Structure formats: structure tokens, C-alpha cells
Structure 1
């Protein structure tokens, strides 16, 4: 079968690989009818996350039809149409029973303390072959496959595999109450779904911070008030637009790949903060190298972390769903502590949210396809990766299908 395969940083290929087989009685084999490219996939290709095993199939978003089931899969049958939650969970450990599916004790073969298991990730996440393929093996299929009603098309369902649940998770962790003011940093597909989810939770005002015009326009279409961080200082703008108070909730939907502003007062502020941080590091521990050879004293906390903590009202809530590597150690904790901020973060517990979001889509409470902008054949996957990585105008989310 055809699949998108990781070989090295910057080297992915569409090639023929063996078809997956049932390995455990709790497995299922799914014939994929839709998959997608996610910003997290770019972390693997760029080398932001180390430990990728050459030969691993990429991708963690999938919709398809059950082709085979193991003897212990009792809630599905061959022919069922399903969506695959991106993170993998056993469904029966104490964490899964409490809804913390991304912290499952049993899914990750590296051990109970190994952390989140997901499709198409580095060695410490399994590794499990991903879903940018014609077929996939799904472990613990009774928990990791959710049946789809006829009303939810593939185009809608593929967005419920990862990015819609992740955006909803971010809004849920942000403790949004009716009337609250919310700032969403990053208007990629997850950030856009965080905006849509904040609306579902009756937020009063939603601010969207980005610099790519097509992303800001899409955020405006969803009802957000937009701020271009290269045109103005986002913290100053958020304070001014909230009467000097700041926002009740902030969602970091960017993570480690946040870009520094390139021009204007925000760029000057970012440069000053970086220089101050470097001076403080040299004072405290001039010879310390806490992140190994990839770290140097000029490194600083994530730009989004700085902005979010500064822009939050006292006793506000910061929700972090942007991806950070385990080696990242910097956060403006002093400022957060002195403002009595609540900080929630983590990998999305997809299986907790997917059934609820499937139902919302079924009854037309929301149409997730407003954020899907590109549909391409699997045979064009490598070119689609390149364009998506360049953040070209209008490329918010890319769906891959077997053929059109």
C-alpha cells in the first residue's frame, strides 16, 4: 500500500509499504478514506521533536471503514465507518476512566511513565505507524474508534480526529464562562477551532492574534476581533481594548514554533526581553547549559507565553495546547504567580471529546468544514507538505484522500 514515510529530518517520501496486520485481539484494521496534514507533523519533519524512527508512517488524523477486527473488539463490525482519535488509549486504566486518555497507562509500550501515545510520532510515543496511508492498524480499537452517523461526512469527520477536539480542549481548559473575554494566540487550524469552541461556550468577546492575513480573515469570519502582532503590540492592544484590565482567558495555540514579531513596537519589546533574559542568565549561571548543545544563553521563554501572561487579567486562566518539546524549560513563572493565574496545559484527551463533537456536527450545531481549505490526493502528499510548511495564504488545513 501507499504511505507517507519518514526517513530523516526534511526527508519524507510517498512509497510502497507492507499492509498492516492484526497483532493483538484488541486491534482493528481500518481502510482510510481520509487523512490530513497537521502542524504537529511538521514538528517531526523539521526535527523540532527528536527521536523519529526512520520508516515510521506519518499522520495522526484519520477516517475510514473497518476492514478487520480482533477477537476482543466487541462494539464494532467490519464495514463500520469510523473516525480515529489521534491519541491512543486503552480505555480501562484509571487515567482513561477519569477522562485523561492522553495519559493512558497502557497504550504506550515504553512504560507507564512514558507519556502520550499517538499515531505517527517519535520513539517515545510508541512509536506507532501513522494514518497517512491506505490502511492502518488501530490498537485498543474498542476505545480508539468512534462510529460515525451518516450525516457526518468524511470532510467533517477528519476535522474531529484531532484539531477540533484539541481546540475544544483548549477552550475547556481556559475556564470560559458566558461573557468572558478570551485571547487566542495563533490562528492556525487548532487556534481557529479554539475560537469556534469559545463561541460554543458563550464567550463574550474573542481576540485572535496572528500575522498571516488569510488566518486573521478566517478568524474574523468566525467572529473574533483580530490583532496583527507585526502591526501593533498585541499586549498593549489587548489591554487597551479591555479598558486596561486584560483578558479573562488566554489560549496558546502555537507552542514552540511561535515566530518573533518582525517589525513595530512588539518587535522592539521582544528584542529587549530577549536581551534582559540573556543578561539575567549570565548573572545567575554563566556556565550553565540546561538544554544541552542546542541551547545558548540568548534563548528565552516562548514569545506566546510572555504575551499571554502579560495580557491576562489578574486571576485569569492560561490554557496551553501548542506543542512544546520535553526539553523546553522556560516559562515566565514569576509574573504568572504574582498575578494569581491558573495555568492548564497538556495533550488533548481526544477520546473524551470526539463523541460529543460528532453529535454537535450531526445536529448542525457547527460546521467544521469552514476551516478545511485544501483537499488533495494522497499521491500529491509531499508537495502538499511543502506548501503547508511554507504557511502559504489560504492553506489552513489539508485533507488527503485516496483519489478524486
Structure 2
């Protein structure tokens, strides 16, 4: 089959790779119909390169149609249409029973001191082939392949794989009081949904982003937007009676703009020989923290900062004096997708589409166009906010 593969730092390509097969009796294999490019996929190009291998298949936001079923699968059959959470969980261990599927003790990567396995996301998380491919093997399919019972288009369901529950968890963790103010740092795909979810829950929502197209999209959902300028903090204070917002969702993460030293360190580490780069990444790696620092500065005293953007540093300096003095709460973590899907499923099927799942994708492309789409998405060119790949179809990037 054809699949998008990692080849070297800053280089991905579509290659022929072996077809997936049933390995365990609880597996299914799906034919992928849609597979989105996630902002966290961009981290694989350089920052997380030390933990990738040539020809690793990328992608963790897929959906499709079941084409092969293991002998112990109970809830699925060939021809069923499914969406696949990016987290691979068993559904019955101690952590899964508590709703913490990202900490699944069955698929946990103890050798890497990491959590549950994820599709297409480095050896840290199991080196499991991802979903930017024509076909995908789904382990523990009764837990990890969510059956669709309508003929609604893929975009209604696709974002249940990652970014919609990630945004939902981020807002939930933010602990916004009733009628409170939520600030969303970064209006990429997760930030867009976090802002919309905040408005859907009745909060006042402020959103910050550098890109005019992202701000304009958020404004369609009642979000008050701000550009990133030198007086950003003062403007946020002016809009919140001098106290700051009750809660902040940081939807930016490790590759925030600013801090050229950290940016250089991230890229340089990824370009070193594999053994050296792994050692550095696990002992001295740092993130670009401008969005996180701005979030900590902005949130009002006694408020909460929720991290939805991915961070991977192990030597990040944190303003502990400020955090302690302000008495702020901090919540974070990979999204426990399976935990939130029951809450979100009826919302995405609502004919009114209150979260705008049909109003996010700016670019549709074929699988063969994936490398160009990664580049476009990373550079934020051509108004690119969200890309969906369609394996097996011939498209032209729009």
C-alpha cells in the first residue's frame, strides 16, 4: 500500500510499504477514507525526529471502512464505517476503567517511561504504523474503532479521532466558572475548537493568534480575538477588569514563536546522529515556552491554565515563584479520547453543527500530496488551517 513515511529530519515522502494484517484476534483492518494532518504531526519533522526511524508511517487522525475482522472482535463487521481515536487502549485495565486511556497499562510503553501507544507517533509511543496510509491495523478494535451509524460525511466524525476531544478536555481541565472568561492561546485547529466549545458552554472567549485567517474564523463563533503584539498582556488586562481571564487554554505547545535559542536547540538536536540526539532529547531538551509563559502571566490569581498544546522538554525553566504566588492551577496531558467521545458524539451529529465541525477544513488533498501539505501547514500559507488527506482519491490540495 501507499503511505506517508518519515525519511529523515525535515523530510517525509509517500512510499510503498507492507499492507497491514490481522495480528491479534481483537484487531481489525480498515481502508482509510480520510486522515487529517495534526499540528503535533509537525513536531515529527524535527523536534521528535530522534525517536523516528526511516519508513515509519505517520498519522493519527484517521477514519475509514472495516475490510478485515479478527476472530474475537464482537462489535464490528466488514463494511462498517468507523472513526479511530489516536490513543490505543485496552478498555479494561485499571487506568482505562478510570477514563485515563492515555495511561492504559496494557499498551503502556514502560521501556520508554511513556504512556499508552499512539498511532504514527515515534518509538516513545510504540512505533505503531499510522493512519496517513491506504490501510490501517486497529488493535483492540471493539474499544478503538468507533462505529458510525449514519451516512453523514466524514468531516462530521473525523475530528473525534483527536482534535475535538483534545479541545473538549482542554476546556474541561481549564475549570472555567459559570459565566467566566476563557482565554485561548493559539487558534490553530485545537484552539479553534477550544474557543467554540467555550462559547458553546456559555463562557466569554478571548482568542490570541498571529494569523489573520485564524482570527477571522474564530470571530465567526463569537470569539473576541487579539493579535500577538508587544502590548498583548496589557490589552488582555484591559478586557478583563485588570484581573486577567479566569482560565487559559494553551493550544500552542512546544513550537511557539519566540525564543530563537530554544528553536535552534530543538532543530539542532534533531539533526544530530541518532544515539546522541536521543540522549540530549531525554536529558536536556527544551521547549519554546512563549505561549505558556504568556498564559501564566495572563491568567488571574487563583485561575487555571490548561495545556492542550504538546510539550516535550525535560529541562524547561518554569516561573515557579509567579505560579505559587498567584495560586494558579495547572492541568495537562494527552487527550483521553475514549473518555470524551460519548459527550461529543450527539453534538457532532446535531444538524445545527454547533461546534462547526463542517467549518474547519481549508484543504483537501490526495495522499500523494501529503508532503506538500505538511510544508504548507507548517508555513501557515494559503490560509491553511486544517488539511484532510483522502487516500485513494486524486485531489489537488483544495
1:238-295 deviation line (CA, Å, top 9, x unaligned)? 11111101100000000111102xxxxxxxxx89xx9xxxxxxxxxxxxxxxx95999
Match among 376, 379, 382 for residue 371 of structure 2: 382
Distance 2:284 2:112 in 1: 33
- Structure 1 position 182, deviation (Å): 0.6
Equivalent positions of 1:236-255 (< 5 A) are 236-255=234-253
Contact 1:212 1:393 in 2 (8 A): no
Match among 341, 353, 356 for residue 354 of structure 1: 341
Distance 1:340 1:109 in 2: 34
Distance 1:349 1:145 in 2: 15
1:356-404 deviation line (CA, Å, top 9, x unaligned)? 3222111235231211111111121111111111111421000001215
- Structure 1 position 49, deviation (Å): 5.2
Contact 1:62 1:83 in 2 (8 A): yes
Distance 2:282 2:76 in 1: 47
Q: Specify the SS of the correspondent of 2:341.
A: helix
* Mean Cα deviation higher: 181-190 or 69-78: 69-78
Q: Specify the SS of the correspondent of 2:159.
A: helix
Alignment of 1:329 onto 2:316: yes
Distance 1:356 1:300 in 2: 32
- Structure 1 position 330, deviation (Å): 2.2
Which ranges in structure 1 are unaligned for 5 or more consecutive residues?
261-269, 275-290
The residue number in structure 2 matching 1:86 is 86
Q: What is the root-mean-square deviation of aligned Cα atoms in Å?
A: 2.2
Equivalent positions of 1:126-145 (< 5 A) are 126-145=126-145
The residue number in structure 2 matching 1:345 is 332
Alignment of 1:160 onto 2:160: yes
Q: Specify the SS of the correspondent of 2:137.
A: strand
Q: Specify the SS of the correspondent of 1:388.
A: helix
The residue number in structure 2 matching 1:318 is 305
Equivalent positions of 1:208-227 (< 5 A) are 208-227=207-226
The residue number in structure 2 matching 1:265 is none
Aligned residues: 374
Contact 1:106 1:112 in 2 (8 A): no
Q: Specify the SS of the correspondent of 1:368.
A: coil
The residue number in structure 2 matching 1:50 is 50
Distance 1:9 1:345 in 2: 28
* Mean Cα deviation higher: 372-381 or 46-55: 46-55
- Structure 1 position 352, deviation (Å): 1.1
- Structure 1 position 53, deviation (Å): 1.9
Using the size of structure 2 for normalisation, the TM-score is 0.89
Distance 2:197 2:102 in 1: 20
Query: Structure 1's 112 and 182: CA in aligned 2 closer, same or farther, altered over 3 A?
Result: same
Contact 1:258 1:302 in 2 (8 A): yes
Using the size of structure 1 for normalisation, the TM-score is 0.87
Distance 1:294 1:115 in 2: 15
Q: Specify the SS of the correspondent of 1:50.
A: helix
Query: Structure 1's 394 and 117: CA in aligned 2 closer, same or farther, altered over 3 A?
Result: same
- Structure 1 position 15, deviation (Å): 1.2
Contact 1:301 1:331 in 2 (8 A): no
